[in-house]
Structure 1
Amino acid sequence: MKDYADSIAFLGQWGRFQQTVFFLLCASIMPNGFGAFTLVFVNDTPTHHCLVPDVNLTQDWQSAIIPVQVVNGKLEQSKCSRYRLDVVRNLSAQGYIPGRDVNLTELEQERCVDGWSYSTDIYESTIVSELFCMDIFQFDLVCSEQWKQPFTSTVFFLGVLCGCFFSGQLSDRFGRKPVLFATIAVQTVFTFIQVFSSSWLMFTILLFINGLGQMSNFVAALVLGAEILTGSVRILYSSMGTMLGFAAGYMILPLLAYFLRNWKSLLLALSVPALAYLPFWWFIPESPRWLLSQGKVEEAEAIVRKAAKWNKVQAPQVVFEDCSANDTKTKENYDIFDLLRNSSIRMTTLILCFVSFTMITGYYCLSFNTSQLHADPYISCFISAAVEVPAYISSWLALRYFPRRLSVISTLLVAAVSLFLIQLVPQGLSNLSLALEMLGKYSITTGASMMFTYTAELYPTVLRNTATGVCTTVSRLGSCITPFLLDMSTYFKYLPYITMGTLAVMSAFATLFLPESFGRPLPETIQQMSRRGRMKCPCISRKHTPVPVVLLDNPL
């Protein structure tokens, strides 16, 4: 009885068919890269202060009507108040000069009752400053409405979390290919509709639906490629190919945003090109492995025979003899509660959830914070995206040659040290702060990429998909709190860095208690995992002979 990989071995690993699937699936993931971080520019808050109506004020009072405050050691104009306009107008009419004839600290202040004036030095408009309906309605997500700005990002990530939770089940029921193209359509259509949002509530609801397609698209493409490709090509695709496709889309975002400074134009530019993915439907096949699991042997064989023609090889008369029986053999049912019944498995699951939560929190915090770190948010965002390319390559190399536990601990500690050091950098050395943050981003990205494989290697076959899905879902809670964690900088500039660094140190310590999986066979039963997973803290692991990385069919 031959398994699936043996049955299609005659195709080879890198023929025309595999090349087409590899590169088209990587390209299909690119919208996830720019879609995940569009809010870096669309949801950013421009420099602003209270709007002063066109009234008869002297030049001195025009300059002095906005109070000056000390923010993070620097003098800045108040964003949410001004001196009372009627009082200032009377003082100006009487010829008083501010600071000489009038002590400004004694003047009464008022809210921005006439709205706000936003700087257009960086953005023409964002959803924070957008004006609608001929000046009748304005988003104005500042001051008393400022909570809506981080909440907008949180709603998006809640959509991503829900998509992450349901995508695997939809893919298992309806197939990999339909879910892949349906989620691409969700992202494209709802990104386009967002351009016509007439209120913050409408924009936020559409953003949530858009988020449903984000992770679902990534999962469907990852699973489809992992099931079609085999051998070393499958490892390359699952560990680096998909991630580089994501990074390519991420790098495209700041380039488009630089030339399209209006948020509507940017969203329109990001949605329309996705129509180019429509022809992919005729080139990307359904997963033969999934078809076999559904008993659709003839459809699976048709795809493989088409692949044989593309690769110019001769297919055997019967491709999947007894293969379907091998894939559909009776199995004992396991569920999420089996992750909690055994003490060692329960502890392993909790630690992995915590470490994954830390990784994703750090990843999105550092990705979304780049627009605030440097004077030019476009350069900062591009650097942040470019850093991911060597990070994913490093992750692939670490998975091949180094112990898992040592690799994860190293990435967490490097990230923690760089984040703690940022607060010690003088204000005049902004490039050094940027370098330290990018070092932290590189390290966290490397570790986050490795966690999928590490998690898959620790669990037995009967729990592998369930465990990885649980860890991934919990980790996405980190992305949901990211906007509010970054908003803590209004109270103390370095508080987000200290929080992320502390989480990284705690996670590094917790990782010491995880079992090592490098060079060891994957556990097949819960009993095997229980024996391997007893809580120990060996600071030095024995050397193991490296073996090929075996990746999960559905790591998310």
Structure 2
Amino acid sequence: MSAVQLMDFDESTAFLGDYGFFHVLMIVLLSLSAMPCGYMRVIVVFVSDTPEYHCKLSINSTRNGTDVERASSWSEPNSCSRDKVNGNGTETVTRNDTERCVDGWVFSTERYTSTIVSEWDLVCENAWKVPFSTSLYFVGVLIGSFISGHLSDRFGRKPVFFVTMFLQAAIALIQATSISWVMYCILNCMRGASHMSNYTSSIVLGSEMLSKSARVSYTLLGHSMGYGLGYALLPLLAYFIRGWRMLLVASAIPSLLFIPSWWVIPESPRWLLQKGRVEEAERVIRNAAKQNRVPAPEIIFRTEECLELMQKKDEKEQTYTYMDLFRTPNMRNVTILGLFLWVSVAMVFYGLSLNTSNLYGNVYLNCFLSALIDIGAYFTTWLMVNRAPRPTVLFSALMSCGILLLVIQLVPEDMPVMFQVLALVGKMGMSGAYSFIYVIFTELMPTVVRNMGFGIFTTAANIGTIISPYVIYSGVHSKILPYIIFGTISIVAAAVSILLPDTRNNKLPDHISQAKPIRNFSCQKKTPSPQSTETEGCKKEEQ
């Protein structure tokens, strides 16, 4: 094994404390970096919303220039057809005689000055383009997360984090100048490729430089809260900026303002050690000690260990690939369970988030309430994280969401408020689960493949998010069908989650050999003995 035992990293840096100035600064900065991710991923709620519309009269069928006023009287809202008109501009006698909206549509400007729907007439036979453009965003996220995991493990967490932060903003600015729906879709895919890469790399970067106690608080309370606050900021921005182009411009500004923090946020010392760059890692730790105003030991890592790691720089490094996630039984089991859970959780979480515009009431208020519920879920999960086994917390969150979503089908149609309450409270459980899977899988994935692990998990998750707009679109045929689908998926995911090993109070694994086995409920405890409490089968499974 390589020199510095990275499993002792927490012990080697224990002198820094848990919440010194350095730790607090990193938590604050990296949590703030999650705010653009919070609104960028669900900005489609307003950018792609469909205003009320009706057919437009042709010019030669108007009288006295009042076609818009007449249109509202002879065409039902959100209609894809109109009553036929004669060439002289009068309606036909037979009111059941209709024709397609060959002259286009008139869109209401009561809620928005423009969306991509009103700009490019994405209604009726073109309505499929709305969920398709949203799915393309998640296709981009899928591609970006798959590539960025390997790049981050190879070139470092920090470069990938800042490059994707810049790309997220730059592409949004270019997207705001789109001259066609095709251009918008291509840029939407590219913006998605930078989004999840940035979000994941910031979680890994913070988790690897913080202590065990601060790491959990950062992931659940800091980073997730930053994401939730960004989500809550979205309806406020959208309320005052009613045009989709300027909304994209406004969303890009915070990311650009964050770029100067490059000179404040260091590279992950764990990653530097793993790459044999001991001097750089020690420099990061000594700088942290200086900021925390604590004395650093003269030797942070033992001399013989450092010499061996320094030699490693001139030798051929062991290169890890995605196949290492499946090479050993323990890694393979954790990876397969993780793939299913990330697909399920992401599909339901983003499905419920994107569906806020379809709920009863004001779309801005619904989106804001959804964000507040997310923040409440993150805080509740943080309170529970050290009070119960990790799989139990995840199971409870997923099961509560699934039950509440399935109960929705029992709500009478004349009780829309109850329908809305159940949908939003159900989302609270899924929001907690979404934030918590980052905690448990950060603790399950070894350092040598952690970012690749997150890359493949987020890639799988985005298969779910690609599907979620179409699950929502199925609500056109049955309003409760999306909730039945999401509720069923949540309950199945809850059943799978109890197989995960408990990582509470454990150190972060650094090598594949340290991966934990999944829980085997067939293993029965033997008669109490001070030497052994498990069967031989269980022992073999853990080795």
TM-score scaled by length of structure 2: 0.84
Cα distance in 2 between the residues matched to 1:392 and 1:26: 13
Select which of 392, 404, 416 maps to 1:406.
392
Q: Is the 8 A contact 1:345 1:533 kept in 2?
A: no
Select which of 490, 493, 502 maps to 2:476.
490
Q: Is the 8 A contact 2:325 2:331 kept in 1?
A: yes
Counterpart of 1:19? 24
Counterpart of 1:34? 39
1:121 lines up with 2:119 in the alignment: no
Residue correspondence of structure 1 range 524-539 to structure 2 within 5 A: 532-534=518-520, 536=522
Cα distance in 2 between the residues matched to 1:298 and 1:530: 31
Deviations 1:251-280 (CA, angstroms, capped at 9, x unpaired): 111111011111112111111233321321
Deviations 1:163-221 (CA, angstroms, capped at 9, x unpaired): 21122222222222222111111011111111111011111111111111111111221
Cα distance in 2 between the residues matched to 1:357 and 1:453: 16
**More divergent stretch after superposition (275-284 vs 490-499):** 275-284
Deviations 1:339-378 (CA, angstroms, capped at 9, x unpaired): 5577787565444422322211110011011111033111
Q: Give the root-mean-square deviation of aligned CA atoms.
A: 3.3
Residue correspondence of structure 1 range 308-327 to structure 2 within 5 A: 308-322=289-303, 324=306
The Cα shift of 1:395 comes to 2.0
Residue segments in structure 2 that go unaligned for 5+ positions in a row = 525-543
Deviations 1:370-417 (CA, angstroms, capped at 9, x unpaired): 111033111000111111112112222332111333333322222122
Taking structure 1 as reference, are residues 29 and 91 closer, same or farther at Cα in structure 2, changes over 3 Å only? Answer: closer
Identity of aligned residues (%): 40
Counterpart of 1:284? 265
Counterpart of 1:505? 491
Task: Classify the secondary structure of the residue corresponding to 2:82.
Answer: strand
Counterpart of 2:14? 9
Deviations 1:508-545 (CA, angstroms, capped at 9, x unpaired): 3334555555578888998887865546499xxxxxxx
Taking structure 1 as reference, are residues 269 and 463 closer, same or farther at Cα in structure 2, changes over 3 Å only? Answer: closer
Counterpart of 2:256? 275
Counterpart of 1:432? 418
Q: Is the 8 A contact 1:61 1:88 kept in 2?
A: no
Residue correspondence of structure 1 range 77-476 to structure 2 within 5 A: 77-86=77-86, 89-91=89-91, 102-105=93-96, 107=97, 109-130=98-119, 139-322=120-303, 324=306, 336-337=322-323, 349-455=335-441, 467-476=453-462
Give the partner amino acid of 1:263. Answer: W
Taking structure 1 as reference, are residues 427 and 88 closer, same or farther at Cα in structure 2, changes over 3 Å only? Answer: farther
Q: Is the 8 A contact 2:114 2:242 kept in 1?
A: yes
**More divergent stretch after superposition (178-187 vs 529-538):** 529-538
Task: Classify the secondary structure of the residue corresponding to 1:286.
Answer: coil
Taking structure 1 as reference, are residues 331 and 520 closer, same or farther at Cα in structure 2, changes over 3 Å only? Answer: farther
Taking structure 1 as reference, are residues 252 and 462 closer, same or farther at Cα in structure 2, changes over 3 Å only? Answer: closer
Give the partner amino acid of 1:157. Answer: F
Q: Is the 8 A contact 1:188 1:274 kept in 2?
A: yes
Taking structure 1 as reference, are residues 147 and 395 closer, same or farther at Cα in structure 2, changes over 3 Å only? Answer: same
Q: Is the 8 A contact 1:514 1:535 kept in 2?
A: no
Q: Is the 8 A contact 1:291 1:297 kept in 2?
A: yes
The Cα shift of 1:116 comes to 0.5
**More divergent stretch after superposition (464-473 vs 152-161):** 464-473
Give the partner amino acid of 1:160. Answer: V
Counterpart of 2:74? 65
Counterpart of 2:533? none
Q: Is the 8 A contact 1:292 1:324 kept in 2?
A: no
